[in-house]
Structure 1
Amino acid sequence: MPSSNKNLSVSVIIPVHNGGESFRRCLSSIAAAVPPPHEVIVVADGDTDGSWCVAQEYYTTVLRIPVCSGPAQARNLGARTATGDILFFVDADVTIYPDTIRQVAIAFSCEPEVAAMIGSYDDAPGAKNFLSQYKNLLHHYVHQTACEEASTFWGACGAIRREVFFAVGGFDNRYRRPTIEDIELGYRLKQAGYTIKLCKSLQVKHLKHWGVISLLRADFFYRALPWTELILRDRQPLNDLNLQLLSRLSVISIFALLGAAIASLWWTALLGGVVVFSGVLLVLNAPVYSFFVRQRGWWFALRVIPWHWLYYFYCGLAYAIGTSRHYWRQKKQLAFGN
């Protein structure tokens, strides 16, 4: 690892595909950073809205991929071009704070044993609708209450030493959508013995507007299903971030509640089970709901509960489907091999 007394340079790398106004705000926030980064590299990933032209207005290095290939490949291309000691990956729909670059450089300089570092969303999401506030505040809560020795990487606000990034092979280009390519990189970093730190004071503002369809599609198809496959591939069910023990107990409780509710249609005595498991869910997640009360008040927190329970349901469903697919493929491979 580099000496802690070295002045480390930070290269900011931003993949973008049709970034819109959020991307302009992202670039503006980076331009206002004090001190500025060593360089800003924008990789326009098959954009059709002129995002690459917007990037040129901010005097960044612009790389273009003619056909959308996904953020993994875009970030890898940006990393190969970068010359800074630290590669700081930022999504095109977040804004940073004026001291973010300084914070990243100082953190790596003072902690030479840290190979990579991730932050979190702040508690003031850019989009004002309920789902965007709920989703981003939940992300903020999960990261702010997690262990500082992280088990995964995060591409929206994640920094890594350049030599470490290339030592583990960068992001996996087989991920062609914005999915779990950053989590998978984090798994390989941990397997190689590197330290990833969750720096809770390193925060960015998420500008994304979440709707019902976009939220469910992203959570189920782009996160939960592929993450299940990754867990089964590496056989590492971690107790961190969204995989904490309380979350797993909540998934079990939500399915027990549903089972009791369905069975109560024939045996009304099981309505008591519905009440019991509802109470278990409320107790398990009391710290989460107390957080929402403090942040947005009681009415907001009450609206969070059904969405949060729905989240546990489709995460559990995705795990069941992903597990079945995993062992079905293994069975086919064994049959083919025989």
Structure 2
Amino acid sequence: MSREHPTVSVIVPSYNSEKTLRACLASVFAQSLPPLDVVVVDDASTDGSRDVAREFPCVLVARPDNGGVSAARNLGVATSRGEVLFFLDSDTALAPDAVENAVALLADEPETGCVHGVLDPEPLFDDGPVEVYHCLHAHFWRRRSAGLVGTAFFALAAIERRVFEATGPFDENLRDSEDVEYSDRLAATHRIRLSERVTGRHDDVDRLLPMLAEQFRRSQLLVPVAAVERRRGGGLRANPTRGVLAAALVPVTLPLALWTPWLFAVPAACAVAFALADVQLSRFVARRQGWFFLPRFTALHFAVHLALVAGALTGAVRWLVDPRFGPSVRRRRDRTPTVAAR
């Protein structure tokens, strides 16, 4: 990579992103460091996403079938030409200096293979308290973790092409948790930096049931991916373990109240323990949205935790009974012939 004037390709996987894609691409073409090319990979959208992409001077690659974000990113890399690959999800709009800052960080730290960013606490489009909750939490735990980390999130990330090619493509068998699996391979040879200098405003799910369904779906791959990780440098954690355990114990211990009402104190104590598990997060929410919003935030946070736990347990069972479920590395190992001892 030319350290003084590297070329940058912005790669945007898109699926039914008509609502946000215009804001996303407008932010890309307003960057202080203009990209060499912008590749939008439309993953068989059924809305007007492709028409929106055609409003901009970008390269539009239209897939005939929906292959998932990993396949879309890999196709975008193959189509692009830049020395630096900047991955950007179609529901995120960049700050004007995001690309320039990411490239500068890569240039200043040759041992760093990937730089990814912190999402803004304000949503791209404010559609209500569920979305506000999600954006506040996503911003807080990323900002708290800023520095050298063990996991990269490619919704907002830059990586040198040579590093990407050496690490290999995204696992196209994974539609979720693909970042974590890829990070495990990347961390074997390069550092990963999470930086507050690289920012973007995200549009998230704005209704409760779809949000919980999304969290349930995504968390199903937590156990399969963790099973093949080597844990170099440790992974990022969005939630403290004590909070996850406290939330999980509430429904587990709630039937005790059927034995005697006095035992309702057990799940109640677990609920209190959950509410107090991350005091810094609670203070941050109160500062941003006021103390009256905090109970609503905590209730949503609790519901998300239950969805995460249920999804992780479901995924663990699926991983045990279905060899096709989980990272491709598992299937490769399963197909590797064993040699009998002589």
* TM-score normalized with structure 2 length: 0.87
In structure 2, do the counterparts of structure 1 residues 276 and 209 end up closer, same or farther at CA, with 3 Å as the change threshold?
closer
- Which of 175, 191, 195 is residue 195 of structure 1 equivalent to? 191
Q: Which amino acid aligns with 2:164?
A: F
The CA deviation at 1:235 is: 6.2
| Worse overlay, 94-103 or 202-211 | 202-211
Map 1:15-164 onto structure 2 (within 5 A): 15-128=13-126, 129-164=128-163
Give the whole-Å Cα distance in 1 for the aligned partners of 2:97 and 2:232: 35
- Amino acid corresponding to residue 185 of structure 2 in structure 1: R
SS at match of 2:46: coil
The answer as to whether partners of 1:264 and 1:270 remain within 8 angstroms in 2 is yes
2:233 is equivalent to residue 234 of structure 1: no
Find out whether 1:281 has 2:281 as its counterpart.
no
Is residue 2:268 matched to residue 1:267?
no
Cα deviation digits, residues 119-170 of structure 1 (max 9, x gap): 1210111232110110111111110111522222212101111011111211
- 1:229 corresponds to which letter in structure 2? P
Q: SS of the counterpart of 2:293?
A: helix
Counterpart-to-counterpart distance in 2, 1:21 and 1:87: 24
Identical positions, percent: 27
Residue equivalent to 1:6: 4
Q: What are the ranges of 5 or more consecutive residues in structure 2 without an aligned counterpart?
A: 324-333
CA distance in 2, matches of 1:104, 1:152: 16
Residues 80 and 256 of structure 1: CA distance in aligned 2, closer, same or farther (over 3 Å): same
Alpha-carbon separation, structure 2, partners of 1:31 and 1:143 = 26
Instruction: State the match for 1:317 in structure 2.
Output: 310
Aligned-pair CA distance for 1:196: 0.9
Q: Give, in whole Å, the separation in 2 of the partners of 1:288 and 1:59.
A: 41
Runs of 5+ consecutive residues of structure 1 not aligned to the other structure: none
Secondary structure of the 1:265 match is: helix
Report the CA distance shift for 1:54/1:238 in structure 2 as closer, same or farther (over 3 A).
Answer: same
In structure 1, C-alpha distance between the alignment counterparts of 2:319 and 2:226, rounded to whole Å: 10
Separation of aligned partners in 1, 2:146 and 2:87: 21
- TM-superposed CA distance for 1:273, in Å, is 2.4
Matched residue type, 2:181:
E
| TM-score where L is the length of structure 1 | 0.88
- The Cα shift of 1:237 comes to 10
Cα separation, 2, equivalents of 1:275 and 1:47: 45
For residue 242 of structure 1, give the secondary structure of its aligned residue in structure 2. coil
Shift in Å at residue 243 of structure 1? 5.7
Displacement, 1:106? 1.0
When the two chains are superposed, the root-mean-square deviation of aligned CA atoms in Å is: 2.3
The answer on whether the counterparts of 2:149 and 2:233 sit within 8 Å (CA) in structure 1 is: no
The whole-number CA distance in structure 2 between the counterparts of 1:209 and 1:308 is 14
Distance 2:221 2:170 in 1: 15
